[in-house]
Amino acid sequence: MFTSGKATSPSHLLLGVLVAGAIMAATPSRAASPAPLPFPFLLPPVAAYEPPAAAPQIINPREDDAAAYELPARLRRQVVTYATREAPGTVVIDTPNKYLYYVLGNGQAMRYGIGVGRDGFTWSGVQSVTRKAEWPDWTPPPEMIARQPYLPRHMAGGPGNPLGARAMYLGGTVYRIHGTNAPETIGTHVSSGCIRLTNQDVVDLYSRVAVGAKVIVLPMERRADLGRVAR
């Protein structure tokens, strides 16, 4: 063949084709494919999945039993009309109806749902609060040990203690008004004579009751009208 009047040899023609092909291969195309991924051993390590750590449980004496159990409406702490001649600050235990009234005065009382003594362990009378304790220790009396020899002889105060968050001791008796770590027992006959409230409620009552306060415990057979104490 001829170019510009000169003959081109076949070898020169082949060389030109090869050079043109190399130039085209070196020129990036408009729709270049993505670069291949590196070899697996060059990829950054992938951290193993770890679930988020659970927040530590904080036990609050005002709230530790609320989330686990909700009292029936009638047993929840509430201000009620309560006709009585007892002085404000007096505590009345309505054993048959399973209520504790803290007299506020002006015809009103704060009413709490309670657990009372089981059959054969209820009692009645008038006592006074002789001592108060936060997160009290528990030392079962000999009579209780005799009936239930498996009980511990002493248990330090804390969330697992049967006396709960607070206790108010009644006269020289073995009886107390105290909290409980079993709120589902409120409204039942369950104890050996002590009066129990939820930990939330006993903390509230504890903040109101003074040492020396009068405590009236009505007998089981005396069915008082709700909201008033018969004379």
Catalytic residue selected from 12, 154, 178, 189: 178
Residue 127 near residue 173 (C-beta atoms within 8 A): yes
Which residues lie below 8 Å from residue 1, measured CB to CB, with a gap of 6+? 7, 8, 13
Q: Read off the amino acid at residue 156.
A: A
Spatial separation of the C-alpha atoms in residues 171 and 57, rounded to whole Å: 37
Strands (E), 106-204: 108-113, 116-117, 125-134, 166-170, 176-178, 189-191, 195-196
Catalytic residue selected from 12, 154, 189, 194: 194
Among residues 69, 123, 112, which one has the least CA distance to residue 201?
112
Handedness of CA 82, 183, 57, 138 (dihedral sign): positive
Query: Which two three-digit tokens encode residue 163?
Result: 């006396």
Residue 12: active-site member = no
Residue 178: active-site member = yes
Q: Tell me which residues are annotated as active site.
A: 178, 194
